[in-house]
Amino acid sequence: MPNHLPVPHDVVIAGAGPVGLMLACELRLAGVSVLVLEQAADPHSPLKRLPFGMRGLSAPTIEALYRRGMLDDIAAPQRAQDGRAAGHFAGIQFCHDDIDASKWRFRLPSPAGTSMAVEMASLESVLAARATAMGVEIRRGLGVQALEQSDDGVTIRAGGVTFHGRWLVGCDGGRSMVRKAASFEFTGTAPEFTGYSIAVEIADPDKLAPGRRYTPTGMYTYARPGTIAMVEFDGGAFHRSQPITREHVQAVLRRVSGTDVTLTALELATTWTDRACQATQYRSGRVLLAGDAAHIHSPLGGQGLNLGLGDAMNLGWKLAATVRGDAPAGLLDSYFGERHPVGAQVLDWSRAQVALMRPCRSSRALEAIIRDLIATPDCATYFAERVWGVSLRYDLGGGHPLVGRSVPDFELACGTKLGELLHDGRGLLLDFGARSALRAFADRRRDRISYVASDARDRLGLSAVLVRPDGFVAWATDIAPDPEETAQAAARWFGEPDAAYQKA
């Protein structure tokens, strides 16, 4: 392929879905140039709007949006209603009243709660507007078709045009062309069912019971007047094999509901499966994967978007440091090391839900047991931890129990919340004791790390905390900090200080 573009972008991203756009914003925040190539000419789709475009966000995602100052824009039209129902596992609800949040030692009250709902269309439009305002170039109607790597970059063919980037990230969804073109291995488990999301007109709606129903032949969820999600255990055979017609979905609905319900019109329909696969590596040379391009699973658990946005937050600052040339050894590889296990857990979580949904006696027996357990405080708390993502902790190799967790939203003495200090995407050293040795250290690292000396309303027993750009704790101590130890932790994530700052 010819390599004729005069100025290659630092990073080319395939896919302007939520993950590609979030990653683009993170990279620009860290000062690298970004081009996004999107296959679809038009970003709008009825499937991104309510009811099918509804997505549940969990704590790490909401915290990321809050820390970058986007939460109000995204949350404004549709904050989740706080009813008794707090979330679900395979449709079995756990309740707020049963959750013992006092077990979460490192969570403090924050504008970023633990769960909320958004519309995909609104999330994407907020992210696209932010990316554009930051200087990201988004080109639509250009699907990546082929790529070729060299030692210093990647040449990309998209929509018949050639582009060049120093790095390429495939955020191009579950059927990722980047993943295939760069020969990533993608392994996992085969589908057991075809799932349908349909908007229909029903002649005799009383034949369907509202809410979620498990039946001897599958599962359906019905919301009046005509929104239905249903699952038929056909081994995933129908998905994308034929056009979705009214006659077909009526036949499936009749089988799954065990009724002779009649559909008079099919307004909107899409199918999905529970195929669960994950790339065995997230990086091949100068090509990386994030979001659905790196992992797919059943949407029933409602976690894929959260997983992908977590990838973007984790990858952005690490790839930016690599592009700038100031990344410490192993920083970029820690993206896979940290995010692959999180993805694997989510895939297993979705497989466990499929096992419970199977139309067989043993699954109904399992369902009955889970229903009993989920109503107990210990189990409700466990399910909330998993579904809301509050148990997420990267294994950063020991140290304080806060290390590897999302930083608590400390309220500083002046009333400012910590999350408000993370808008610029830099690291942050929070020194509750205002010690001169830490200040002197921070002065030498001011190229990468902001320094904040303040007491807090509740310090959680801490003395100092070093926060990574993605909002996760790199280092923390309950006792008077040793500047040498602080310097080592900083060097691990931020590299050695520039000579100019070293002298300061």
Stretch that binds ligand FAD, among 204-212, 252-260, 300-308, 441-449 (CB under 6 A): 300-308
Q: Which residue number is nearest to ligand FAD in terms of Cβ?
A: 17
Side-chain-side CA neighbours of residue 472 (13 Å): 25
Contacts of 243 (CB under 8 A, 6+ apart): none
If binding means CB under 6 A, how many residues of this protein chain bind ligand FAD?
A: 31
Task: Rule CB under 6 A: choose which of 8, 18, 404, 408 binds ligand FAD.
Answer: 18
Task: Rule CB under 6 A: choose which of 24, 171, 323, 449 binds ligand FAD.
Answer: 171
Stretch that binds ligand FAD, among 15-23, 100-108, 186-194, 332-340 (CB under 6 A): 15-23
Q: How far is the CB of 198 from ligand FAD (least distance, A)?
A: 11
> To 5 degrees, how large is the angle CA 314–CA 319–CA 322?
140
172 is an interface residue for ligand FAD by CB under 6 A: yes
Identify residues 193-232 at the interface with ligand FAD (CB under 6 A). Answer: 197
Q: Which residue has the tokens 């909002």?
A: 471
Write a three-state SS string for 204-222: CHHHCCCEEEEECCEEEEE
Task: Rule CB under 6 A: choose which of 8, 9, 11, 14 binds ligand FAD.
Answer: 14
343 is an interface residue for ligand FAD by CB under 6 A: no
Q: How far is the CB of 139 from ligand FAD (least distance, A)?
A: 10
143 is an interface residue for ligand FAD by CB under 6 A: yes
Q: Measured in whole angstroms, how far is the alpha carbon of residue 343 from the centre of its chain? A: 10
CA distance 211 to 161: 49
CA distance 160 to 502: 48
Phi (first) and psi of residue 46, to 5 degrees: -60, -20
Binding mask 251-280 for ligand FAD (x = CB under 6 A): ---------------------x--------
Nearer to ligand FAD, 343 or 497 (CB): 343
Q: Are strands 161-170 and 287-289 parallel, antiparallel or unpaired?
A: parallel
Locate 381 and state its tokens: 């708390």
Write a three-state SS string for 294-321: CEECCHHHCCHHHHHHHHHHHHHHHHHH
CA distance 392 to 386: 8
Stretch that binds ligand FAD, among 10-18, 147-155, 219-227, 345-353 (CB under 6 A): 10-18
Nearer to ligand FAD, 385 or 431 (CB): 385
303 is an interface residue for ligand FAD by CB under 6 A: yes
Q: Residue numbers of the site for ligand FAD (CB under 6 A)?
A: 14-20, 37-40, 52, 55-56, 143-144, 171-173, 177, 197, 272, 291-292, 299, 302-306, 308
